[in-house]
Amino acid sequence: MSINSQRATPASSEHDLPGTVLHTDSPLVGVLVDQHERRLIAIRPIAKGSLLYRLEGHETPVPTKYSVQIAIDMHLDQSDARDATDRVRRRPWRYMNHSCDPNTRIADREVRAVRDIAVGDAVTFHYNTTEYEMAEPFECRCRTPVCDGVIRGAKFLTADQRARLGPWLADYLR
């Protein structure tokens, strides 16, 4: 479904976005489809502190490339989605990118804004704040001044990195 053309909408809305936006069950976020990837973005202005959506999914003890850890031996994966549309609607976390300077955090399965988020901005969280050991580590290219480099999970944090992320770390990672 394409909602980024045809209609006249306010300047700060979806129609300026550089791709097709797929809607999720949350009125605040959508999945932007561009040439290179699908990523979660804000489709309305989101105020600091707001709840974007709650994490739901299939609970499994085995992490995957796309799972999100929710407890010491528990991860959410997307294997219960019926199809791609259902996955976008009910498992939007699947499309949430990492940033070392993120605009949301996850606590008790809630994704909340840690600062104001503008329409079109990627919705991000810091993977090391939920994951103990990533199934697929990767080199971060967020280009923020606080970039942590290779993202492998909280198990591998240096003392400095752990101190910086401290307040955001999930309870089971402290």
d(CA 170, CA 21): 31
Kindly report the length of the chain: 174
d(CA 11, CA 6): 14
d(CA 54, CA 26): 9
165 binds Zn ion (CB under 5 A): no
157 binds Zn ion (CB under 5 A): no
Token pair, residue 9, equals: 């909408």
Q: Tokens 């909602």, residue?
A: 3
For the bound state, the minimum distance from the C-beta of residue 144 to Zn ion, rounded and expressed in Å, comes to 6
Sole binder of Zn ion in the list 19, 147, 161, 164 (CB under 5 A): 147
Sole binder of Zn ion in the list 21, 76, 140, 169 (CB under 5 A): 140
Q: Report 51-110 residues binding Zn ion (CB under 5 A).
A: 100
- CB nearer to Zn ion: give 142 or 173: 142
Q: Which residues bind Zn ion (CB under 5 A)?
A: 100, 140, 142, 147
